[in-house]
Structure 1
């Protein structure tokens, strides 16, 4: 026996740890199922509607056939809707008396007693059940009567919940459970369930756990049976101060109840109480509202009173949380406002400094409302400055190299001319001028130096320029040609020379010719004309 207790304690601890890790998932699943409750209710109503149609089609059927249909309708309403269940229980009674069958009359009164008990009408339940004699009835009738009477006394004990009367009611309930288990098959769900319930009421936790763990491991356990077993076993964990395990079991019970359209249930109500005690007001509110909806739908008077007692507490806690969140939000709003003011002050300071930066950085000023935009545009402006500085450095070197060569030529020409003048050799002077000063060659040499310097800075210029055109319109250079006129016009544009007059002066063309070149080239491009110059400016240096 000792080893069994130790094993059960280990199992108990394992269940607790498992429950803590799975409660969040189960509660999320329960929330989803609660939202789907109307769908499950609709399925139950379809079943009921089909039975009612059978009843309407019955016509002049025998009382026995009607009794069978009333019994099926009662079972459909039994845990779904009190008023309808009561109605068909009364019809069962009437039909049973028409049949003048003692077993049918007993069965009908047991069902009527169940409806009274489910609605919390204890006096009416006692009136319906107390005078019944089941000694000669079949075992199924005896089992139903004894188990219902045990529930009646257990519920009375929970209702009174005092030190004097409750133990008396529990002892009476135990007597009826013992009678029920004697007539039920040992392997049936009802027998094992009632035996486990008996152990709970007697305070025998290990034996109760053994019974209910055996039930839960049963194959082909229906959702309603699962709900009964898990909600009942949860009482062990509640009494043992193990709320996480109890919450897990009650959540399973609540899910199973909703999926079977069971409104005569206390799982969501007890679950709401536990969640409220743990401070989980959100889920407690969801469960208590579901419990209220079930109690109102079923019309269980006692259950409505029980649920209403905890609802104000949960709603008050919700209001308290909302107020606390409101205060927190106000505090956060003040902090954010102060930070926003600080950011504005910082932006103003930054803008004053940005105004001192060169014109290429002006884009930063336009983004003063957004700090990240300022940083982005500053980087862009710095890149442009670096690009401009690189171009400037390269072309200053290019300028001095070209000028040095020009001055060397001029120096040599000067010396030669001075010598010829001193010697008065005028024909030789004319020869020197005609053969040493070749303007066309000098222009070509100048353009070649420009082309070399530009392509050193922009080695990908030609390929990226051609990407702006269809393949058949790509520029193909002649042998030993670095750039042609088309490319030079836009090379000068990339260098920052946007004025057509300056471009014309540099390349020694007319302004009209330059503009004609530009228009013709842009019209061939796959890029819109207004974006063409920007795409040229986007070509990067090395």
Structure 2
């Protein structure tokens, strides 16, 4: 039972992770995997560049200090994040060259380069010995700033490596002192200031940029791939979740493109995937990180990775076993569904037999419905044509008014005011109203031929209103006929019939008072009058 519960929990967690994914990080992860497939190409490009530098170095005589030292520095820059042993060889040659020519500044620069590469590779004891060889009394302002930052990084790395309650604390304090001292010497550049804002305290949360801001900033400010990787890795420590993934993916992509093998970003990314239970993605990252550590020769990093890799591998094995269990569960569900379907087929056959028994009855009912539908269609067609006729009549009135308007405006424009008055005088408003009401009555009675009879059936016999042959509707009937057509607003009715609102209210009140039904339901009964009522 516990095993099945764990399988269900894993399945639900996988579903939640799938739905909770971020489109931006998903697309960036695809780019990262594509770049991993291109990694040999980037390494070849790096090695070609190194080969050219070595060829140029071999062509310069040993007696020329400046060009040889410059090329050795460039070689060291290429090797420092690519191959540890070659980087150490290059920096030792820089030290020997500086000593031979008695170049104090270059010697200090070379020793700091040695500290850097030893720090990256986990040779902390040797790094401290190299730091002790640097004569701090002769350092320039800029060099002292770089020296203090470098020593602060060394203290921080040792603190993280010890990771205990006593020794790690003292190293961390020493690191913070050196960072503060370095900051007091030289004002940080724009990139340093920008990255430091990511670590503002909680009280300054509103000033802290978003991870998306840093993502765009690193891409839009013409930084090298290595600079982007270092800055994005640093800033990622200030964020969590998808924000952290975004920055670490950017750093990992930049490391791959710059053929950087001494990289921490891909390892941190693998750890984040592991926390999110994305074990397949975590395995890809950790495996790449382990390959990088072996390629570069990073002892401390390899030890860290080797401690995490078995955990990811074991979880992947568990997931595979869970998938197999889910397949068996799925097969069981399919079998159960098959049994249910067979049972449903038996019931369906019985229903088919019953349907056939009643099929003839259904056909007869369908024939009746077709007849009724035909009648309704004819009735609907007639009503549509009558409504069209009504609107055509209204259009004719509008056209007549338009003609009168144009003639009048024309006469006024020509100064023929008497002719304009004559044109306006020829408009017989009352006659037009009478014609309009006649058309309206004709349409109403066509749509509701039994309206008058239905209306009178709601009144006492002595109060009923009957029309003589050829007679138009009375104002009272006309008001309720408009209500039946859906015109329920009193002001609208008054405007259509050229009555005052009080007149309409009066007519309604009188009729309701004479009704044989309750006044509250009288208008509801009016609305129930149908097209083909019979009496």
Change (3 A) 1:176 1:60: same
Of 298, 301, 305, the residue aligned with 1:300 is: 298
Match of 1:527 in 2: none
Q: Which secondary structure state, in structure 2, belongs to the residue aligned with residue 236 of structure 1?
A: coil
The separation in 2 between residues aligned to 1:207 and 1:145, in whole angstroms, is 33
Q: Which secondary structure state, in structure 1, belongs to the residue aligned with residue 228 of structure 2?
A: helix
Q: CA deviation at 1:112?
A: 0.8
Q: CA deviation at 1:250?
A: 0.9
Match of 1:317 in 2: 315
The separation in 2 between residues aligned to 1:205 and 1:316, in whole angstroms, is 42
1:81 equivalenced with 2:83 (yes/no): yes
- The answer (yes or no) to whether the contact 1:116–1:125 under 8 Å persists in 2 is yes
Q: CA deviation at 1:196?
A: 5.3
Of 98, 101, 116, the residue aligned with 1:114 is: 116
The separation in 2 between residues aligned to 1:158 and 1:207, in whole angstroms, is 30
Match of 2:24 in 1: 22
Match of 1:145 in 2: 147
Change (3 A) 1:91 1:127: same
Larger mean Cα displacement after TM superposition, 305-314 or 184-193: 184-193
Match of 1:157 in 2: 159
* Mapping for residues 296-375 of structure 1, pairs under 5 Å: 296-332=294-330
Larger mean Cα displacement after TM superposition, 79-88 or 31-40: 31-40
Q: CA deviation at 1:335?
A: 6.2
- The answer (yes or no) to whether the contact 2:62–2:68 under 8 Å persists in 1 is no
The separation in 2 between residues aligned to 1:196 and 1:45, in whole angstroms, is 37
- The answer (yes or no) to whether the contact 2:226–2:258 under 8 Å persists in 1 is yes
Match of 1:285 in 2: 283
* Mapping for residues 46-65 of structure 1, pairs under 5 Å: 46-65=48-67
Show structure 2 runs of 5+ residues with no match: 1-19, 345-535
Q: Structure 1, residues 3-56: CA drift from partner, whole Å, max 9, x if none?
A: xxxxxxxxxxxxxxx994422112122111122111111111111111011112
Q: Which secondary structure state, in structure 2, belongs to the residue aligned with residue 33 of structure 1?
A: helix
Q: Structure 1, residues 81-107: CA drift from partner, whole Å, max 9, x if none?
A: 111101111111111111111111111
Q: CA deviation at 1:190?
A: 4.7
What is the count of residue pairs matched by the alignment? 323
Q: Structure 1, residues 138-185: CA drift from partner, whole Å, max 9, x if none?
A: 344323322211100111111122233333222211222233334445
Q: Which secondary structure state, in structure 2, belongs to the residue aligned with residue 261 of structure 1?
A: coil
- The answer (yes or no) to whether the contact 2:81–2:260 under 8 Å persists in 1 is yes
Match of 1:44 in 2: 46
User: CA RMSD, aligned part only?
Assistant: 3.3
Match of 1:229 in 2: 231
Of 177, 180, 192, the residue aligned with 1:178 is: 180
Q: CA deviation at 1:326?
A: 2.3
Q: CA deviation at 1:131?
A: 3.8
Match of 2:391 in 1: none
The separation in 2 between residues aligned to 1:208 and 1:273, in whole angstroms, is 28
Of 249, 252, 255, the residue aligned with 1:254 is: 252
Q: Which secondary structure state, in structure 1, belongs to the residue aligned with residue 261 of structure 2?
A: coil
Structure-2-length-normalised TM-score: 0.55
Of 60, 68, 72, the residue aligned with 1:66 is: 68
Structure-1-length-normalised TM-score: 0.54
Change (3 A) 1:205 1:314: farther
Moved over 6 A (4+): 202-205, 334-344
Show structure 1 runs of 5+ residues with no match: 1-17, 347-542
Q: Which secondary structure state, in structure 2, belongs to the residue aligned with residue 264 of structure 1?
A: coil
The separation in 1 between residues aligned to 2:119 and 2:45, in whole angstroms, is 26
Match of 2:241 in 1: 243
Change (3 A) 1:64 1:211: farther
The separation in 2 between residues aligned to 1:85 and 1:63, in whole angstroms, is 19
- The answer (yes or no) to whether the contact 1:134–1:141 under 8 Å persists in 2 is no
Change (3 A) 1:128 1:203: farther
- The answer (yes or no) to whether the contact 1:235–1:246 under 8 Å persists in 2 is yes
Q: CA deviation at 1:233?
A: 1.5
